[in-house]
Amino acid sequence: MFAHYALEQLTDTWKPEHLQSRPTTLWRYRELLPICDEKHIVSLGETMTPLIHTKRLGKHFGLPKLWIKDESRLPTGSFKARGLAMAVSKAKELGLTSLAIPSAGNAATALSVYAACAGIPANIFMPKDTPAFNIDTCRLAGANVTLIDGLISDAGKIVAERKTDEGWFDVSTLKEPYRVEGKKTMGFELAEQFGWKLPDVIIYPTGGGTGIVGMWKGFEELEAIGWIGRKRPRFISVQSTGCAPIVKAWEKNNTHAEPWQDAHTIASGLRVPQAIGDFLILNAIRESGGAAVAVSDEEICDAMELLPTKEGILTCPEGAATVAALDQLVSDGTIKPSDQVVLFNTGGYQA
């Protein structure tokens, strides 16, 4: 279930020049966003995130055209703000009165603050070993927090079982259609920042996969209205060796991913044993000629040091995973020195 837009109509009426006078937030793409009346927008200042040419890091890997899109600048410090700004705004527009979410951490924090702003109660279900930052920030923002003995998939089952009786609207990734609409704006910004020419490669740390699914959808829409051509970046999905269902499915050439047993990794956003949109992620990787690779926690920790020492960018383990993947991607020839490569730093460092 996805949101659809009158793309043919937009082709004639909406042009990139129209963006020039608009504020540099994700709401500048409003023609391709699902909010009908702007008065329902719940915003904490979702700034366009910087696209940084990381020359020193690029030199280290032999990639002169290496860029980082730094999503840590968004409210609550991760790209999850994009999806939840959209989902909560739409919830407000639709008059929803109670929201529930299963989360591996950052989505819970983002939902808590946006729901607080909208005056809608938020019910959070997450693993009891979720990073303290996420548990604390949800409580500080007044959400009802339940910590469970299990993983995000178990939290999802609890929400699914109880939502009807409790009157909650389930904002699980890809179970409601609006979070992905927020996340696709990563692709819009990237396209705009590169002058409506897409890079050769996007490397993205993948948990539930909405980032990839969203950008894929966004690029299709931009092509349909004539703002970009047919070229797509090769999507490279990075997971942790402690939880790599998409990598395993990609290697076996399967359309769906089997649930991962005993998922564990310091990158909590990647600790998603089963993604609802697994087939959509795998499709985007294949259609784009991309790949899926896993990195160890140790490699992630090394990359968390390499990135700030080379570029001054402090990162979450998930963002560092994309840097950690570069070694193998360059040495096995998946990425060539001539490629223009964009890493997504999906969030900032949290103590």
Beta carbons within 8 Å of 245's beta carbon, 6+ residues apart? 239, 257, 258, 259, 260, 272, 273, 274, 275, 278
Of the residues 46, 299, 318, 339, which one makes contact with ligand PLP according to CB under 6 A: 318
The residue with tokens 């600048």 is 73
Nearest alpha-carbon partner for 126 in 141, 113, 108, 99: 108
Of the residues 49, 206, 239, 334, which one makes contact with ligand PLP according to CB under 6 A: 206
**Does 78 contact ligand PLP by CB under 6 A?**
yes
SS (H, E, C) 198-231: CCCEEEEECCCCHHHHHHHHHHHHHHHCCCCCCC
Which of 303, 316 has the CB closer to ligand PLP?
Answer: 316
Q: Residue 20 corresponds to which tokens in the numbers above? A: 């020039």
- The site map against ligand PLP for 155-194 (x = CB under 6 A) is ----------------------------------------
Of the residues 210, 240, 288, 350, which one makes contact with ligand PLP according to CB under 6 A: 210
CB of 34 to ligand PLP, least distance (A): 18
CB of 21 to ligand PLP, least distance (A): 31
Q: What is the CA radius of gyration of the chain?
A: 19
- For residue 236, give the H/E element and its range: strand 234-240
- Which residue's CB atom is positioned nearest to ligand PLP? 269
Which of 58, 245 has the CB closer to ligand PLP?
Answer: 245
Diameter of the chain measured on Cα atoms? 57
CB of 93 to ligand PLP, least distance (A): 23
Nearest alpha-carbon partner for 169 in 274, 86, 88, 76: 88
Of the residues 205, 233, 245, 273, which one makes contact with ligand PLP according to CB under 6 A: 205
**Does 269 contact ligand PLP by CB under 6 A?**
yes
**Does residue 32 contact residue 188 with C-beta atoms inside 8 Å?**
yes
Stretch that binds ligand PLP, among 51-59, 119-127, 151-159, 207-215 (CB under 6 A): 207-215
Stretch that binds ligand PLP, among 13-21, 49-57, 126-134, 203-211 (CB under 6 A): 203-211
Q: Hey, which residues does 236 pair with through a beta bridge?
A: 203, 291
Q: Total binding residues for ligand PLP by CB under 6 A?
A: 15
DSSP summary character for residue 159: H
Binding site for ligand PLP (CB under 6 A): 78, 80, 106, 205-211, 269, 316, 318, 346-347
